Amino acid sequence: MSRKKLGLIVNPVAGLGGRVGLKGSDGPEVWKKALALGAVPESPARAIRALERFADLRDSLELITYPAEMGEQEARAGGFAPTVIGAIHSGATTPQDTERAATDMAAQGVELILFAGGDGTARDIHRAVGRRLPVLGIPGGVKIHSGVFAASPAHAGDIARLFVNNRSTVPLREAEVMDIDEEAFRADRLSARLYGYLTIPYRREHLQGSKAGSSRGEAVSFDEIASEVILAMQPGILYIIGPGTTTRPILEKLGLSCTLLGVDAVLDRKSAGKDLSEAQILAALEKREARIVVTVIGGQGYILGRGNQQISPRVIRKAGPKNIQVVAAEEKLLALGDQPLRVDTGDPDLDGELCGYIPVIVGLNRRRVCAVIA
């Protein structure tokens, strides 16, 4: 009986810029700067967590991957003895390596390509294989607007398990590949573009969906939410304000300049730092009680782990998981339908602690209780 063939591609620099506040990792200059700032690659560990979910099926499938940090190392760490193809310059991988890997795996007849990375990696995969074969993203980037990613590494592994066990039970659908201009992103301008579609194995409960923007009708809610947060601010407590159009009015109402797409801090209603990295937030938390204020990503439901990686597991544990305040326009929550809110911090144990039911500030003196899952 022939074994199923699965491909694995890891973008080893995906997600490097998140913790250090660089808002991405596209281009060698950016990831070199991220490494110099102490960034640690995120996608390798995420790929391993996905592989571990179906490692017990290794005898029934052939895992085909690229050398060293582009998949071989992660495959072995995840319990597989992979078939390694292609060649790379270790330590200096490029988008062209990703494209070549996807092309080579398609030629090998793989039934599914798992790839660990972000929107830039999805673009590379799209250029290489288009909609010719199913692919699935293991979320490992900073900005993940595309609809081709699983909700978490574990969910990616679960979909792969279903696909290996009985492909006929997993329908295929097209999902969009979106990406933003990172230079504009770093200058606080959000410019997103549709690059095309990829074919993915579809299991709604395991997929994150595409990011949706805010509507003009939410403006009144934003003002009320800002007032509610400000009225509750206590002297001597540091408020870490996450990125987003829902949180920006908090700073504007205080008369403070802000970074729409970065993490800012407020102490005694005055600015205590702008566009902070993980290290800067940790330093600010050293001797202070804190609250973390984050919002919900429209269409996806994430409150942590997407676009706000500076608010890392270390930051959350130092501030205290119970000191997280979530704000969102009620319209945005209603648009999620029956979907819960999600967390994907990179620390599975912490994600488990954050699951449950939480009150979300939706207006002045108004809360809505929402479920949170990992």
286-299 confidence digits (pLDDT tens): 989 999 999 999 98
Alpha helices in the chain (DSSP H): 16-19, 28-36, 43-52, 72-77, 95-107, 119-129, 153-165, 182-186, 219-231, 248-253, 278-285, 313-319, 330-335, 348-354
Tell me the CATH number for domain 4-206. 3.40.50.10330
Cβ neighbours of 334 (radius 10 Å): 10
Give the span between the Cα atoms of 134 and 162, in whole angstroms: 14
In 3-state terms the chain splits into helix, strand, coil percentages (rounded to 5) of: 35, 25, 40
In tens, the pLDDT along 12-30 reads 988 776 776 665 566 667 6
Tokens of 274: 């702008």
At 335, the amino acid letter reads A
Kindly give, in sequence order, each residue whose CB lies less than 8 Å from that of residue 41, ignoring residues fewer than 6 positions away.
12, 13, 14, 15, 16
CB 64 within 8 A of CB 110: yes
Sign of CA dihedral 100, 8, 138, 130: positive
Return the bridge partners of 177, or none: 196
In tens, the pLDDT along 221-253 reads 899 999 999 999 999 999 999 999 999 999 999
